[in-house]
Structure 1
Amino acid sequence: MTSTDHVANGHSRPPGAPPGSSARQLAAASIGNAAEWYDWYAYSFLAVYIADQVFPESTSNSLVPLLATFAVFAVGFFMRPIGGLLMGAVADRHGRRAALTATILLMGAGSLLVALTPTYHAVGVLAPVVLVIARLVQGLSVGGEFAASTTFLVESAGPGRRGLFSSFQYVSTTIGQLIASGVAALLVLLLTNDRMNEWGWRVPFLIGALFSLVGLWIRRGAHETRPAEQRSGPRPGLFEALRRHPRESLLICGITAGGSIAYYTWTTYLPTYAQVNANFDKGDALVVSTISLAFFALLQPLGGMLSDRIGRKPLLLFFALGFAALVVPLLDSVTDAFASLLLVQCAGMVLLTGYTSVAAAVNAEIFPARVRAAGIGFPYSLTVALFGGTAPYVGTWFKEAGHAGGFPWYVAGLCLVSACFYLVLPETAKGPLKG
């Protein structure tokens, strides 16, 4: 049996790896991924504090600094397609582990730069310029991280376990968010508002830089999953996946659009939505996020294992149709009561699991091994940038324009679009990975 067959047929460890290495493979991808996403989400959880320090306040509209902060959040997302293409190409040409090493180094550097960003009061326009550069570096890293870690996780999985292994993409992502949310909530509880504005918001980014170094150390022990024949053969071109697999690339976009807007609305923007639209307490919103993210992380392996038994499509349709039907009443029911936001966020997390627990497996099962990482990375990251990265900005814009109720309908519409793609998606759970 060739090494390509070994991976394609789902053996539990890559060729050349020692027995019992599956847990180490899972840890290498998951811990590094958690470090990546901790850094990325710390920014969104602390957006209201960054806005006060880095952007000048408008005398006519208090939402202007927050809009500017979320605009920078979106700018980082638009580096993700470039990161997905470049780091995906590195993974396909030089191996998954080389790409994973590069992405985590970039994320640590970006996090450190955010921590050291000067205030607008101190240096003027240079402050937002430094912040934009930091977010561009982080966007490049995160775009490449999903492509490389998704491919690495699914190729490391055993027979009938690709759904379970792929669910750890969002387990680790959620753990990173959870730590970021928990650190932010703890700082809010321990520090006065003045101290948070002065220096407290910088602490999570310093922690993130250290966290990235820990992830780098763990990833050094990972085993390569790229088939040996492809390591010695001709290397794929940068745009080979797009050129040779246009249908698959379009399919990735359709799969991702609804999941992306729903995911970033529920896990990133919802606390701010509650603050802006229901006068929800800032500190309580962070606490609710921490609780609901822990609940979300526990759901992912259950969804992954279920998809290995019944297939990917039933879970995807449960997510898309459920969200399309319920997102408007759920967001409309948010009040300034703690229990209200907690129930809404947890209900959305159950629906969202239908997408997040299987997304990595579905994406990896679409492309052949030769261009798998780059094939996933570019269309996925482009779609996330267009719909996920802009979610906080679009939601805040709807509020500023006096049409806050329009945002939930926007989310519902995109979920219906993705449902159409899920209906025509071939079921891939039981077949082998493409060699």
Structure 2
Amino acid sequence: MQNDLGHFRIESDSSPPSTSTSVRVKGIIGACSGNLVEWFDFFIYAYTSIYFAAAFFPSGNQVSQLLATAGVFAVGFFMRPLGGWIFGWIADTRGRKVSMIISVFMMCAGSLLIALLPTYQTIGIAAPVLLVVARLIQGLSVGAEYGTGATYLSEASVTGRRGFFGSFQYFTIISGQLLALLTVAILQHTLSLVELKEWGWRIPFFMGAASSIVVVYLRRSMVETASRQDMKRKEAGSISSLLQHKRAVLLVLAFTGGGSLYFYTFTTYMQKFLVVSAGMSPQVVSFVMTASLICFMLSQPILGLVADKIGVKTHMLLFSGLATLLVVPILFALKTVTSPYMAFALVAAGLLIASFYTPISGLVKADLFPPTVRALGVGLPYALANATFGGTAEYVALSLRSANVESTFFYYVAVLTGITFVASLLMPDLGKHGYLDGSGEIEANTGLRKQG
């Protein structure tokens, strides 16, 4: 069956497209370029909030202003479940490509609104209200992007290389964060603090909105990985059909809860943690985080290749086991660190542990569901757990700091990654029982049973 672009033929209802390497790579580039832009737009908020917090929340001290902006950051996460649901349905019934093009337009709209938004001094309470609206739009977009992107990359890849191809999802997520961080670093060295607080923080939001034009062009030329037959099935994109895969849904929730909380602790929150708790200057912290994220980004395809050799279950056990054991001592050490080089070593160590999870994060979830509910199955439970634990990481951490019990947050992260470890033990061998390359017997098998 030919798709609308006429580039390839679908060999069966659930198989990935049989097409040339160049067409496959173009599709992956289209998916990943949008991923980069969307996450740049989403994370630039976290990295510039230290400059615009007083413009939208003028009363109180620095911690209370940051707490308010962190709350708005979390609000964006709580639109993700709705985005995962709506766009999961679109991707499963209308195609992965359509879903990803719409999501880019929505992120552009949210970024443009923030870039143009008047301050509290100009329009009063309407300013923070509109800021929340913009974050809701962006959250809806990101909720669409992750599930559909993970589904597309897993389906566009080939057996034995899925970990490698899937690693480019987080490679571009991290690239978006890194680009956001580098943009802020450049602004810090070219503008004064007064200029940054008055108008300089708006520049990255304009950049993100403008870059969506290129992404739309790239995504229009992507091949579609979902077959027409699957998209027309009555169970496609159905919540009732998704609920028939209870074990898979629970595994996604458990993986995402610990994985997202850990990831955001060492990325977005770490930027503020090193300033507020360790007492480092924003400029030094930008250097530390930039160097750490570069190492983290480069590790993605390497560990994706490793996952193709040793299996995703082993990777998940390594991530969750190491994170549970080491996150508390790493965070305690970072709280008292004084040397930027030691801070870099500790953050890089924390991110190296995360690198056992991030390259196969989308793949392991996509492999748990059949193609008719794959985008919905990846997107919706991921978004629920991500909003609950990842999106609130900064807010919870700052709240506990305000209550003078900051170290409680360290143990909270360890407990969540411990749950992820248990879920990893219970996960079936996806090479044998997953839907992409195995028998699709997820609901009938667990990692604690003898599998043959």
Q: TM-score, normalised by structure 1?
A: 0.95
Residues in 1 aligned to 2:69 and 2:386: alpha-carbon distance in whole angstroms: 18
Residues in 2 aligned to 1:29 and 1:317: alpha-carbon distance in whole angstroms: 28
Deviation at 1:7, TM superposition (A): 7.5
- CA contact 2:163–2:363 (8 Å) conserved in 1: yes
Alignment of 1:10-409 (within 5 A): 14-15=17-18, 17=19, 20-58=22-60, 61-234=61-234, 236-334=236-334, 335-409=337-411
- CA contact 1:241–1:374 (8 Å) conserved in 2: no
Q: Deviations over 1:191-217 (max 9, x none)?
A: 111000000100000000012221111
Residues in 2 aligned to 1:75 and 1:231: alpha-carbon distance in whole angstroms: 32
What code does the residue aligned with 1:320 have?
Answer: S
Give the RMSD, CA atoms, in angstroms. Answer: 1.8
What code does the residue aligned with 2:215 have?
Answer: G
Task: Name segments (4+ residues, structure 1) moved above 3 Å.
Answer: 1-9, 231-235, 429-432
What code does the residue aligned with 2:98 have?
Answer: A
Residues in 2 aligned to 1:62 and 1:176: alpha-carbon distance in whole angstroms: 27
- CA contact 1:240–1:371 (8 Å) conserved in 2: no
Residues in 1 aligned to 2:323 and 2:91: alpha-carbon distance in whole angstroms: 34
- Residue in 1 aligned with 2:427? 425
- CA contact 1:316–1:355 (8 Å) conserved in 2: yes
Q: Deviations over 1:6-46 (max 9, x none)?
A: 5755x5xx25x556212101101111100110000000111
Secondary structure of 1:280's aligned partner: coil
- CA contact 1:277–1:404 (8 Å) conserved in 2: no
User: Runs of 5+ in structure 1 lacking a partner?
Assistant: none
How many residues align? The count is 429
Deviation at 1:423, TM superposition (A): 0.4
Residues in 1 aligned to 2:307 and 2:14: alpha-carbon distance in whole angstroms: 18
What code does the residue aligned with 1:426 have?
Answer: P
Residues in 2 aligned to 1:32 and 1:145: alpha-carbon distance in whole angstroms: 8
User: Relative to structure 1, is the Cα distance of residues 347 and 309 closer, same or farther in structure 2, using a 3 angstrom cutoff?
Assistant: same
- CA contact 1:93–1:235 (8 Å) conserved in 2: no
User: Relative to structure 1, is the Cα distance of residues 294 and 325 closer, same or farther in structure 2, using a 3 angstrom cutoff?
Assistant: same
Deviation at 1:283, TM superposition (A): 1.5
Residues in 2 aligned to 1:235 and 1:412: alpha-carbon distance in whole angstroms: 38
Residues in 1 aligned to 2:274 and 2:338: alpha-carbon distance in whole angstroms: 7
Q: Deviations over 1:147-191 (max 9, x none)?
A: 111111010001211111111110011111111110011101111
Deviation at 1:235, TM superposition (A): 6.0
Identity %: 39
Residues in 2 aligned to 1:213 and 1:235: alpha-carbon distance in whole angstroms: 34
Secondary structure of 2:338's aligned partner: coil
Residues in 2 aligned to 1:112 and 1:238: alpha-carbon distance in whole angstroms: 33
Deviation at 1:429, TM superposition (A): 3.5
What code does the residue aligned with 1:371 have?
Answer: V
